[in-house]
Amino acid sequence: MSLKNADFVIIGSTPLARLVAGLLASVHGKAVVFAGESHAGYHLPRGMDLSVAPITRPETWDLLKPLVAEMLKLLPRIGARGSWSRVDPVLFAEAAAGKEALAHIRHMALAFRHGAEPVGEKALGPRREGVILRDAILLHRPRLEAALDHWLDKLEVHRMAPVETLTMHPDGSAELHSGDQRMAITQTVLADDTALLHHLPIAQWPSLLQRQVTSTIVTEPTKPLAAPVMLQLDAGLALAQQPGRGITAIGAGRIDPFAARLGVLLGRAHDFRQAGQLQYERIATSDSAPAVGRLGATGPDVLAGLGPTGAFFAPAIARWLSGVANPAENAWFGARLVDRQIAPSLVAEVTSP
């Protein structure tokens, strides 16, 4: 079978990468190649997909609200039954700067009619303050990934096989080789941290993007957390309670110091034993805001720093890549280009887990 030329190759393994690939094909009529491994079934998680985050910018709250509604309509069409649930996550902090950010986040949430209530020391521990954000959407990666892969196959998205090779060019185009067959691809999209770390040439690495050593620890069953999902602003740490009462913790730092910080955070009531651990690199931005687009209008498109809400931006990203984004989306992405000025940053956020 001969290979046809394609408009995009999406490189990445996250739900965001799969969603963007499928939406480019199904909604925008693009010929798409997807190059990404399966992670959710057998790897410890490197992130979570949540419809809220430590967002301080009003334009992001404004953009995110209709995108979450759009995603809730899309997921049933994908056939992703059981791939999401509603949760009431808690954002919390100990330091003064974090507490100030929390107050601003609560104000923003309420302004955009998202339920937000204060949580005090009784639930969180001494010197901690928090905000509970009501009725958020949490995606369950193992079930969602299987549904998304089936969806991509139905859409005839070409999923790159192990025997095929991909060659990227400096202008952002690429070639897929399968034996003696060749597919020309107009544009490459590096859609997650692993893709950026493996495929973005060092000569093109922008000062905005920073490599960050990160760890995931999964505990054996312990006492329940104060909320099923908890995000600590001070340390950029995320906690998620698992169905068997184990905890998944994700945050910056190497395994040993991260485990020590986790022990202090959980306290003696949550004495834990590790069931699994993973250390890896991820990408952070120097101002904690998302970074998108092409460096100097050349090279691959970059999607970085979108945090836990990244998957929910997929419909807008697909429109933007296709050149049909609405004015609000164009303005939002245009202010967050990967080669933007960062001193001072006009779009800075607080640290996102």
Query: According to the model, what pLDDT value does residue 40 have?
Result: 61
Q: How far apart are CA 349 and CA 332, in angstroms?
A: 14
Residue found under tokens 């059981």? 82
Mean pLDDT of 35-47: 80
In angstroms, how far is the first alpha carbon of the chain from the final one? Answer: 44
Enumerate domains of the chain plus CATH numbers.
Answer: 1-43+139-206+287-353 (3.50.50.60)
pLDDT at 14 over 60: yes
Q: pLDDT per residue over 301-351, tens digit each?
A: 999 999 999 999 999 999 999 999 999 999 999 999 999 988 889 899 987
Q: How far apart are CA 30 and CA 187, in angstroms?
A: 11
